[in-house]
Chain A
Amino acid sequence: MAEGKNYLNHETTIWSWLTTVDHKRIGLMYLFTISCFFIAGGVAAILMRLELAKAGGDLVAPDVYNVLFTLHGAIMIFLFIVPGIPATLGNFLIPLMIGAKDVAFPKLNLLSYYIYLVGAIMALLAIIPVDWISAWLPEFLTNFLTWLGLSGPADTGWTFYAPYSLETGSSVIWMTGAAFVLGFSSILTGLNFIVTIHKLRAPGMSWDRLPVFIWASYATAVIQTLATPIVGISLLLLIMERVFGVGIFNPDLGGDPVLYQHFFWFYSHPVVYIMVLPAFGVVGEIIPVFSRKPLFGYKAICYATLAIAVFGFIVWAHHMFTSGLSNASAFYFSLATFTVAVPTAVKVFNWVSTMYKGSISFDTPMLYAMGFVFLFMVAGTTGIYLATLAVDVFYHDTYFVVAHFHYTIQGGAVIGLIAGLHFWFPKITGKMYNEVAGKIGWVLVFFGFNLTFLPQFVLGMNGMPRRYYDYPPEFEWLHTLSTIGALINGIGYSFALLNMLYAFIWGKKIAPRNPYKSLSLEWDTQSPPIHENFEETPTVTDYPYAYGVPVKEAV
């Protein structure tokens, strides 16, 4: 670790961590917490895959399986990947990258963390299988849990579709409540970032000099702030519906279950961009540094980021092409969905062009970034199938959607997060991780991931529906492959995370200020940074990608 004081050692008590308003420490606390949930969600996924490895029920009962995929979805979405990059790398990097001392509202930042924790605890309560274990519990405890409205683990899937969510076990109230509270935390984080980026940029840091990660975080924050309230109110209405029987989603009372889907996807489609836009930002930071080239088409990438954020709001009902939409609205939502494909393609073209005539080195972050480009190509092109009306009718709610979604969110957002963690690891910890181990981790993750989900595309093409506990025997070999892939993928993630954890705690190799000779601001302070970020406020004179030797006709 660098000489002298830094944000990690200037105070060391646990209390100083729990009450910190330092964005860097809050970022690390988030990272620790979401990693725990990543492991929990991963275990649920592995159990599910093991059950599906062979046809027939062999590991768990059908209702347990239903709980597993609900937990996997709800934990991974609400507790892991929505806070994912924004709350960890975003918290850590946004002030550093724009040359600020902290976010605009540091206390609010800490408050969002604790609101997140409250939501997490509510979600954990909803997981307790009260009905199943009541025989082994002391009676008062069972009574207390029942009194809280807990019955068994929520089993609705992470989408909480009415009317099933209105009639199944009452724990679903706690799960939706948790999602509501977590949404509130997300709103406050987004709001904080928007104000920070608007108001706290260092002298000379104009909008056209912002790193693309900041652009991505800004677009993400806008979505967090503007889309989350809608899911908040729909989850609140779902709770009201269950508690008071209001009736607006309940067909028995004249309500409309499809309305719930509209409300839900109005948030939950944009939320996909909350997950993946920051990953775009991470990749946009990594590729120029390891290519020693300016980011190709910086402005185009920034505009594309904003375009995706805006278009993301007007395409939600493409999740509902088979739900009873009128033809006219189905046409509109199909066409609108294609508008998202274009800016996404533009980004990919620009990333690859950045490497042209570069001086490319293959450090672990770069490998993840290049892997990301491939995975996201698959994710993006399979998205085209699902945007195409007649074809989506076939693929809707099959394994094709499952695979597409995981290529986007795991191949996109999670790989982006892991890439970013490797890239900024020296800055965050002041240490260097073992490069060889990092690369082995990458191989396992990349290979395992593709082995898990490529067969699922084929399953979907064969018509295998999702959320099935059992399936016709002709699908078996693909499921077996997928399960093997999932195990390798799980080992890969464990390997990569343990490698970093080991280096953080026991690592000997000290990171210099700027190990990659990057030009962006966060490298312009010691590693790890001091509590106040910079010794003195930096002044910015150029955008952060001016690598290489100037040429005349540059745009």
Chain B
Amino acid sequence: MSEHVASGPPHVHHMDAKTAYSAAKLGMWLFLATEILLFGGLFAGFAIYRWQYLSEFAHASEHLNWKMGALNTAILIFSSYAVVLGVDAAQHGENKKVKKWMLVTLLCGCGFLVVKFFEYKSKYEHGLFPGTVDHITNIAFNSPEFNAQYKMFFGLYYCMTGLHALHVIIGMGIIFWIYLLAKKNRFSTDYYTPVEVGGLYWHLIDLIWIYLFPLLYLVG
């Protein structure tokens, strides 16, 4: 949504630059609130069933690779740091630095997705996949130990991390767009709204992962 606040006055100069900046920030904070509520529904659902099926969820969680999760956590935290540096650079009007840090953030995002891809792939190969998995023969789901609650754990795992990964992809789109703006030298000490609100969005993505990681990987 930040595109719309940032690309300057649209059809009339209907607000001054200062109002536009504070409006964009308020808008983004509200949007972040809706995002948190969106994930909040998933967290609530997870909490309820985690409580109800304590040991099943704990066992299912052991099938996740916490090392990969930890690696991704580190990548995202570093990317947030890069964004902070990018925002700082934008506030000083240093477009070149903005470009650099946005590129670093993009690389982090790619790295995150690559790690995620390998995690999903390995889960899929082990048959840890929700839904109708009859076509996979060597699946653990067929063993009596893997009852419906295991499926539910992995169902929630895929929903939560999948929705999060989708947000990473959208976030990368926004970061890339900021990169393009920086390339055109659009930022100055007077105008850096997109970097600031785009950065807020990226921090949220990071924050959600920081909650997802212990909840899914470390519950056991």
| A adjacent to B, CB under 8 Å | yes
A411 to B130, CA, bound (A): 46
A105 with B27: CB separation less than 8 A = yes
| Contact assessment for A248 and B41 in the assembled complex, using a CB-CB cutoff below 8 Å | no
Q: Which residue of A lies closest to B130 (CB)?
A: A244
- Establish whether residues A194 and B4, one from each chain, have CB atoms under 8 Å apart when the complex forms: no
Tell which of A108, A244, A245, A247 touches B4, judged by Cβ atoms closer than 8 Å: A108
Q: Are A226 and B12 in contact (CB under 8 A)?
A: no
B37, B38, B40, B156: residue with the most chain A Cβ atoms closer than 10 Å: B37
Interface residues in B, total, Cβ within 8 A: 43
- A234's contact among B5, B11, B23, B41, by CB below 8 Å, is which? B41
B-side contacts of A229, CB under 8 Å: 34-35, 37-38, 40-41
Given A200-B15, A252-B148, A254-B149, A237-B159 contact (CB < 8 Å): yes
Nearest A-chain residue to B152, judged by Cβ? A247
A119 at the B interface (CB under 8 A): no
Q: What is the bound-complex CA distance between A214 and B132, given in angstroms? A: 51
With A21-B11, A240-B155, A248-B155 in contact, is A232–B23 under 8 Å at CB?
no
- Collect the chain A residues with CB atoms within 8 Å of residue B27's CB: 104-105, 108, 191-192, 195
Q: Are B151 and A199 in contact (CB under 8 A)?
A: no
Interface string of B100-118 (1 = CB under 8 A from A): 0000000000000000000
* Most B CB within 10 A of own CB, among A105, A107, A252: A105
Min CB gap A110→B, angstroms: 9
List B8-55 residues whose CB lies under 8 Å from chain A: 10-12, 14-15, 19, 22-23, 26-27, 30-31, 33-35, 37-42, 45, 48-49, 53
Residues of A near B23 (CB, < 8 A) are 104-105, 195, 198-200
Flag A231-243 by CB within 8 Å of B: 1 or 0 each: 0111011001001
B148 touches A102 (CB 8 A): no
Q: A253 — nearest CB in chain B belongs to which residue?
A: B148
Q: In whole angstroms, what is the CA distance A550 to B23 when docked?
A: 38
Q: How far is the CB of B95 from chain A (nearest CB, A)?
A: 24
**A111 touches B (CB below 8 Å):** yes
Total cross-chain contacts (CB, 8 A): 140
Instruction: Enumerate chain B residues within 8 angstroms of A253, measured Cβ to Cβ.
Output: 148, 151-152
Q: Are B41 and A106 in contact (CB under 8 A)?
A: no
B residues 126-164 in Cβ contact with A at 8 Å: 130-132, 147-149, 151-152, 155-156, 158-159, 163
Q: Decide yes or no whether B1 CB sits under 8 A from chain A.
A: yes
A199 touches B155 (CB 8 A): no
Contact call A243/B41, Cβ cutoff below 8 A: no
Q: Is the CB of A226 within 8 A of B37?
A: yes
| Secondary structure of the A contact surface, majority rule | helix
B3 at interface by CB-CB < 8 Å: yes
| Pairwise interchain contact A246-B41, C-beta atoms closer than 8 A | no
Among A233, A259, A263, residue most surrounded by chain B Cβ atoms (within 10 Å): A233
Q: Which residue of B lies closest to A231 (CB)?
A: B41
Instruction: Please give, as numbers and ranges, the residues of chain B lying within 8 Å of A62 by CB-CB distance.
Output: none
Instruction: Judge if A522 is at the interface, Cβ distance under 8 Å.
Output: no
CB-CB contacts below 8 Å: A190-224 with B:
191-192, 194-195, 198-200
Q: Please give, as numbers and ranges, the residues of chain B lying within 8 Å of A247 by CB-CB distance.
A: 130, 148, 151-152, 155
Q: Is A255 an interface residue (CB 8 A)?
A: yes
Q: How far is the CB of A82 from chain B (nearest CB, A)?
A: 16
Please name the residue on chain A nearest to B11 by beta carbon.
A21
Cβ–Cβ < 8 Å partners of B45 in chain A: 237, 248, 259, 263
The A379-422 residues at the B interface (CB cut-off 8 A) are: none
Contact of B158 among A188, A191, A244 (CB under 8 A): A244
Chain A residues closer than 8 Å to B14, beta-carbon distance: 100-102, 106, 200
Residue with the highest number of chain B CB atoms closer than 10 Å, among A104, A200, A240, A255: A104
A244: which B residues are within 8 A, CB to CB? 130-131, 155, 158
User: Is the contact region of chain B dominated by helix, strand, or loop, or is it mixed?
Assistant: helix
Q: How far is the CA of A329 from the CA of B147 in the complex (A)?
A: 31
Contact between B40 and A230 (Cβ–Cβ < 8 Å)? yes
Known: A233-B38, A233-B41, A245-B132. A21 touches B30 (CB 8 A): no
Distance in Å: Cβ of A230 to nearest Cβ of chain B: 5
Q: With A and B bound together, what is the CA distance between A254 and B148 in angstroms?
A: 6
Contact A194 B30 (CB under 8 A): yes
Q: How far is the CA of A228 from the CA of B15 in the complex (A)?
A: 29
Q: Which residue of B lies closest to A263 (CB)?
A: B41
A187 within 8 A of B: yes
Nearest CB of A to B128, in Å? 12
Which among B45, B158, B159 has the greatest number of chain A C-beta atoms within 10 A? Answer: B45
Complex Cα gap A339–B31 (Å)? 29
Closest to A251 in B: B148
Residue in contact with A199 in the complex, picked from B26, B149, B156, CB distance below 8 Å:
B26
Contact between B159 and A246, CB atoms less than 8 A apart: yes
Measured between alpha carbons, how far is A245 from B40 in the docked complex, in Å?
Answer: 21
Partner of A248, one of B10, B132, B152: B152
Report which residue of B1, B4, B22, B38 has the largest number of chain A beta carbons within 10 angstroms of its beta carbon: B4
Decide yes or no whether A58 CB sits under 8 A from chain B.
Answer: no
> What residues of A have a CB within 8 angstroms of the CB of B132 in the complex?
245
Shortest CB-to-CB span from B151 to chain A, Å, is 6
Please name all residues of chain A whose beta carbon is closer than 8 Å to the beta carbon of B37 when the two chains form the complex: 226, 229-230, 233
Q: Which of chain B's residues has its CB closest to A230's CB? A: B41
Residue in A192, A195, A200 whose Cβ sees the most chain B Cβ within 10 Å: A195
Which of B1, B130, B131 contacts A105 (CB under 8 A)? B1
Contacting residue for B3 out of A101, A107, A236, A246, CB 8 A:
A107
Write out the residue numbers on chain A whose beta carbons fall within 8 Å of the beta carbon of B15: 100-101, 104, 199-200
Is A255's CB under 8 angstroms from B34's CB? no
Bound together, the chains give a CA A195 to CA B1 distance in angstroms of: 13
Known A191-B31, A259-B48; contact A198-B11, beta-carbon cutoff 8 A: no
Q: Tell me the chain B residues, 73-106 only, with Cβ under 8 Å from chain A.
A: none
**Do residues B38 and A107 form an inter-chain contact, with CB atoms below 8 A?**
no
Q: Return chain B residues, CB-CB under 8 Å to A111.
A: 4
A225 on the B face (CB < 8 A)? yes
Of the candidates B19, B130, B149, the one having the most CB atoms from chain A within 10 angstroms of its own CB is B130
Nearest B residue to A240 by beta-carbon distance?
B159
Contact assessment for B30 and A243 in the assembled complex, using a CB-CB cutoff below 8 Å: no
A256 to B149, CA, bound (A): 12
A22 within 8 A of B: yes
| Interface assignment of A435: CB less than 8 Å from any CB of chain B | no
Cα A254 to Cα B50 with chains together (Å): 12
Give the nearest-CB partner of B35 in chain A: A229
Instruction: Knowing A191-B30, A229-B38 are in contact, say whether A248-B156 is a contact too (CB < 8 A).
Output: yes
Instruction: Collect the chain B residues with CB atoms within 8 Å of residue A246's CB.
Output: 130-131, 151-152, 155-156, 158-159
Q: Could you list 19 A-B pairs, sorted by A, with CB under 8 Å?
A: A100-B14, A101-B15, A102-B14, A104-B15, A108-B4, A111-B4, A191-B30, A191-B31, A192-B27, A230-B37, A232-B38, A233-B41, A244-B158, A246-B156, A246-B158, A247-B152, A248-B45, A248-B49, A532-B12
For the complex of A and B, the 7 pairs showing the least CB-CB separation, nearest first, are: A246-B155, A233-B41, A101-B14, A244-B131, A229-B37, A245-B131, A107-B4
A230-B37, A237-B45, A246-B130 known; 4 other A-B pairs, CB under 8 Å? Answer: A228-B34, A244-B130, A246-B159, A253-B152
